[in-house]
Amino acid sequence: MWKKAAHQTVHIVCFLLGLALMLQALGRLYAPRKMKKWYGFDEPFARAFVAEPEGTVDVFFVGSSLFYAGVSPMELWENYGITSFDVATGAQRLYRTAIYVDEIIRTQHPKLIVLDGYVALEKMDLDKAVYFEGVRYFPLFFWHNNWRYYDLDDLKTPPVYNRREVRKGYRPLRDVEKVEADGYMEEEEEEDSFVGIRLSNLFYLERIRWQCKLAGVPLMFLTTPSPYNWDDKHCQELQAYADAVGIPNLDMNLLTEELNIDFSVDYRDEGDHLNVTGATKATAYLGDYLMEQFHLVDHRGDEAYWSWEESLPKYHQYMAELKPAKSNGTDEASGSPGGGLEKLPE
């Protein structure tokens, strides 16, 4: 009897292994062939770092819209020679962050990964976390519709990722909205206000920490100043975890005076996101901090990084032509087409 049961178990295990291998193979087959959404290449601006030469991006800022609104990689390049990229998406959660960190380590081998403190604490939908765990190991679930865009010639050639992002993931906005910051970052009076980080968040934070540790990539937290999203309770929760595991934590919500933040001109939406002037201040402080704490290499003048120098005037052109989003009746800023994805020679 037990021999029959063992025989059936072996058959089931072999079937499941074969199914898993088939799904993995089909996932590779249906991978996006080009950097366009209709090819299944999600978040083309945030993930445009795949078009950068391998090993040329030293710092990655992985997080929410607070990062893509508050950190300008091209200003870090211009003033410090730091190569960096905002892998930032609206309402990003840690289950997506973990996937992005996987891809970053696999394709770039960076000198530093910077995690968004806001994302570290933000509540996650567990059903979405389960879904993205499936996507992580079986990407076919995410790309299964791609067969509609392929022909035989596409399947004979490797994917072409050749659209470089001039802003390196930064999405600036010139809108200005005065913020009432009374009580911002004042200490909580309730003794039981500190409750710690959710277990689901701890699971992903530990996974990301070990991903980076095994790859030899330093990790730090950064929280840009955001009265709408942050308070003393959040500050204590994140700092307690950072201290416990030995991760540097730069909380700019505690440094608004040092950053010279002006709540009447440096925000665009009730203290949620920094606008261009606020991001410039935050980026300047961040550049000094990174060079001092992590001794990053200044790549200016290095021929291997010619594309960054080439992108700089295009970035300046984009910024010069940038208009407030509300002035063009949209939720996005207007600017020169040169500020987006730029196709490279094949």
Distance separating alpha carbons of residues 10 and 89, to the nearest angstrom: 44
Hey, which residues does 86 pair with through a beta bridge? 61
Give all domains of the chain, ordered by start, each with its CATH number: 31-343 (3.40.50.1110)
| Residue 331, pLDDT score | 46
* Residues in Cβ contact with 195 at an 8 Å cutoff, skipping those fewer than 6 apart: 237
The angle, 0 to 180 degrees and rounded to 10, between the axes of the packed helices 94-107 and 126-137 is 20
Q: Which residue has the tokens 């975890």?
A: 241
Conformation bin of residue 122: beta by default, left when phi > 0, alpha when psi is -120 to 50: beta
Averages of pLDDT over each 10 residues, the chain, 346 residues = 58 54 50 51 73 91 96 97 95 92 92 97 79 60 53 57 80 89 72 71 95 96 94 92 96 95 92 94 98 96 91 93 66 44 44
| Residue 278, pLDDT score | 96
Q: Cβ(99)–Cβ(107) under 8 Å?
A: no
| Residue 328, pLDDT score | 44
Distance separating alpha carbons of residues 266 and 315, to the nearest angstrom: 21
Distance separating alpha carbons of residues 165 and 154, to the nearest angstrom: 24
* Residues in Cβ contact with 268 at an 8 Å cutoff, skipping those fewer than 6 apart: 69, 173, 174, 175, 176, 177, 274, 275
Distance separating alpha carbons of residues 187 and 190, to the nearest angstrom: 9
| Residue 58, pLDDT score | 97
Which parts of 191-314 are beta strand (E)?
219-223, 249-251
Q: In this structure, is the dihedral angle defined by the CA atoms of residues 234, 248, 201 and 237, taken in order, positive or negative?
A: negative
Distance separating alpha carbons of residues 35 and 31, to the nearest angstrom: 11
| Residue 329, pLDDT score | 44
Q: In this structure, is the dihedral angle defined by the CA atoms of residues 30, 36, 37 and 43, taken in order, positive or negative?
A: positive
| Residue 287, pLDDT score | 97
| Residue 333, pLDDT score | 46
| Residue 186, pLDDT score | 75
* Residues in Cβ contact with 109 at an 8 Å cutoff, skipping those fewer than 6 apart: 54, 55, 215, 217
pTM: 0.83
Going from the C-alpha of 214 to that of each of 44, 105, 131, 149, 160, the distances in angstroms are 28, 10, 25, 37, 29
Q: Cβ(234)–Cβ(279) under 8 Å?
A: no
User: Burial level of 136, CB count in 10 A (0-12/13-18/19+)?
Assistant: middle
| Residue 183, pLDDT score | 76
